[in-house]
Structure 1
Amino acid sequence: MKRYCLALDLVDDPQMISEYEAHHRNVSAEIKKSITDSGITVMDIYRAGNRLFMIMEVDDTFSFEKKAAMDAANPAVQVWEQLMWKYQQALPVAKEGEKWIIMDQIFSL
Structure 2
Amino acid sequence: MKRYGTVIKVKPDKLETYKKLHAEVWPDVLNMIKRCHIQNYSIYYKDGYLFSYYEYTGTNYEADMAKMAADPITQKWWACCKPCQEPLETRKEGEWWAVMEEVFHQD
TM-score exceeds 0.5: yes
Unaligned runs of 5+ in 1: none
User: CA RMSD for the aligned pairs?
Assistant: 1.7
Q: Is the 8 A contact 2:92 2:98 kept in 1?
A: no
Query: Matched residues in 2 for 1:101 and 1:67: separation?
Result: 18
Do residues 75 (structure 1) and 77 (structure 2) align? no
Task: Give the distance between the partners of 1:89 and 1:37, measured in 2 at CA.
Answer: 27
- Tell me which residue corresponds to 2:6: 6
Query: What aligned pairs does 1:50-89 form with structure 2 within 5 A after superposition?
Result: 50-63=48-61, 65-89=62-86
Q: Does 1:46 align with 2:44?
A: yes
Aligned to 1:29: 27
Gaps of 5+ in 2: none
Give per-residue Cα distances to partners, 1:48-103, cap 9 Å, x unaligned. Answer: 0210110001213350x223321232111011111111100111202466311110
Aligned residue pair count: 106
Distance 1:8 1:67, change over 3 A: farther
Q: Which amino acid aligns with 1:24?
A: H
Give the TM-score normalised by structure 2: 0.88
SS of 2:88 mapped into structure 1: coil
Identity %: 30
The amino acid that maps onto 2:37 is G
* Consecutive aligned runs of 4 or more in structure 1 exceeding 4 Å deviation: none
